[in-house]
Amino acid sequence: MRMTTSPQGSARLELVGSGRVEVSALERGVVLAGLVERDELGQGRGDARRGAGVGRRRARARVAGGRPAAHTDILVVQHDHRGNPLFRQEATPMSRQQLEAIVQMLRSQPVVKPDASVQEARAGFEQIASMFPVDADIKREAVDAGGVKAEWVSAPNVDAGRALLYLYGGGYVIGSINTHRALAARLSRASGARVLVIDYRLAPEPPEHPHPAAVEDSVAAYRWMLGQRLTPGRIAVAGDSAGGGLTVATLVAIRDAKLPLPAAGACLSPWVDLEGIGESMTTKADTDPIVQKAGIAQMAAAYLGGKDPRTPLAAPLYADLTGLPPLLIHVGTAETLLDDA
């Protein structure tokens, strides 16, 4: 790891990995393999971890000297097992002002409007996703994953024997392969693995399906992956928001079905408490421009379909997690889902 400072006062944190990147794509302030934060003075702080299930290493760095950096650039360098560089990826710097502008935009133009119908909410989510194009060199392959519509998303030169099952977020009501394809592409490029994004069944009304349809589809897709000559120890399961909760529920269901467990799981801002009783749901309401208690209450009701909100596979906060593989969890301190994480 190296830290350098430009004449303009910006800082660059360079992380050097061996066969795996330490920092992957930034999404909603969190990343799958690393996290970059800013303190109140605007100084950069990097916290890098090796990928889930591949060992752990932490490195922290702060901009040297008394002057706060204008911003922090993250330069990722991935090497193969011989030390040869595979690619270099530089994150676009974002100032506090730019971040605040995005927050204000989300407040004035919410992802899901309170009075929107399910169809309108889904269309709005798709429209926002269209703002994030997928790089031209990304390969896409539509597949039937055990009866579940799915798509392999692969960056160039990935290891075909390594795979990530990705479960998108959207409150179990909205979301699709389209809304998360760009994120899947970044994860594939950063991890050197293929990413299987599945279109699990959504709630609420027919032909959509409440719990446990999403869990059943996720387990079915995992079974299918095992039948594709993929070794369980080289598969990980990951998801964001509702997909993060679904990740935990899927791991529990895989264990209970006595299937071979994947190497690891990863959750980005997981939603695991369908009642929204965590303190952060209230205390962080003013700082989270996306997830609010009223909205998730509606989605929870649709997903539960009249079932107990503490049903373990629906709300894995109440599940027995004994024997699960290592689980990596990321969440922002300004998020209403902080306590869920």
Q: Give how far Cα 222 sits from Cα of 179, 215, 311, Å.
A: 21, 11, 22
Average pLDDT, the chain: 78
Tell me the one-letter amino acid at 8.
Q
Q: Give yes or no for a contact between 31 and 23, defined as CB atoms under 8 angstroms apart.
A: yes
Tell me what the mean pLDDT of segment 98-117 comes to.
78
What is residue 13's predicted lDDT score, i.e. its pLDDT? 31
Tell me what the mean pLDDT of segment 187-192 comes to.
96
Q: At what angle do helices 213-226 and 242-256 cross, to 10 degrees?
A: 60
Tell me what the mean pLDDT of segment 204-227 comes to.
92
What is residue 132's predicted lDDT score, i.e. its pLDDT? 84
Q: How far apart are CA 93 and CA 72, in angstroms?
A: 6
SS (H, E, C) 69-112: CCCEEEEEEEECCCCCEEEEEECCCCCHHHHHHHHHHHHHCCCC
Concatenated DSSP letters of 4-66: EE-TTS-EEEEEE-SSS-S----BTTB-SSEEEEE-TT--EEEEE-PPTTS----EEEE--SS
Higher pLDDT, 33 or 91: 91
Phi/psi of residue 198, nearest 5 degrees: -110, 145
Task: Report the length, in residues, of the chain.
Answer: 341
Give the pair of three-digit tokens for residue 87.
């690619």
Q: What percent of the chain has pLDDT above 90?
A: 57
Higher pLDDT, 298 or 94: 298
Higher pLDDT, 243 or 91: 243
What is residue 6's predicted lDDT score, i.e. its pLDDT? 40
Condensed to tens digits (0 to 9), the pLDDT of residues 26-76 reads 333 333 333 222 222 233 333 333 333 333 333 332 223 333 333 333 344
Question: What is the DSSP code (8-state) at residue 240?
Answer: E
| Structural domains of the chain, with CATH | 2-96 (no CATH), 110-330 (3.40.50.1820)
What is residue 93's predicted lDDT score, i.e. its pLDDT? 59
Q: What percent of the chain has pLDDT above 70?
A: 72
State the pTM of this model. 0.74
What is residue 130's predicted lDDT score, i.e. its pLDDT? 84
Q: Give the helix ranges, DSSP H, for 176-227.
A: 177-191, 213-226
What is residue 250's predicted lDDT score, i.e. its pLDDT? 99
